[in-house]
């Protein structure tokens, strides 16, 4: 199945652009697509970080034992499928 892609037009500081491109070259990159791949991975990581932070905030009212019990129960359910 082919992946569909979207084109983004972004504005970043010239210093940020230079630092990122220098980093990519130092990592053996700098080829076509490396910048897009880096940005996509960074966006996914940030979304994960913010989602985890939100989930923790929403669940901070519950005791750790309650959460651990819910996780265990979900694992048992998932493994039985």
Summarised one tens digit per residue, pLDDT across range 21-57 is 999 999 987 899 999 999 999 999 999 999 999 999 9
| Residue ranges making up the domain that contains 51 | 14-79
**Residue 35 CB contacts under 8 Å (≥ 6 apart), including other chains:** 20, 21, 24
Whether residue 49 is contained in a domain is answered as yes
Whether residue 48 is contained in a domain is answered as yes
User: What would the mean pLDDT of 2-22 be, rounded to a whole number?
Assistant: 93
Whether residue 9 is contained in a domain is answered as no
Whether residue 1 is contained in a domain is answered as no
Q: Identify the pLDDT of residue 76.
A: 97
DSSP string, 11-68: ---HHHHHHHHHHHHHTT--STTHHHHHHHHHHHHHHHHHHHHHHHHHHTTS-HHHHH
Q: Identify the pLDDT of residue 1.
A: 58
Whether residue 65 is contained in a domain is answered as yes
Rounded to 10 deg, the angle between the 34-59 and 14-26 helix axes is 110
Q: Identify the pLDDT of residue 2.
A: 63
Report how far residue 54's alpha carbon sits from residue 20's, in angstroms, rounded to the nearest whole number: 29
Considering its fold, how many domains does the chain have in total? 1
């Amino acid at each position: 199945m082919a992946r569909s892609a979207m084109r983004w037009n972004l504005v970043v500081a010239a210093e940020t652009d230079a630092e990122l491109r220098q980093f990519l070259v130092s990592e053996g990159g700098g080829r076509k697509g490396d910048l897009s791949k880096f940005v996509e991975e960074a966006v996914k990581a940030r979304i994960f970080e913010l989602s985890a932070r939100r989930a923790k905030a929403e669940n901070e009212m519950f005791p750790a034992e309650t959460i651990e019990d819910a996780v265990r129960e979900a694992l048992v359910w998932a493994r039985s499928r």
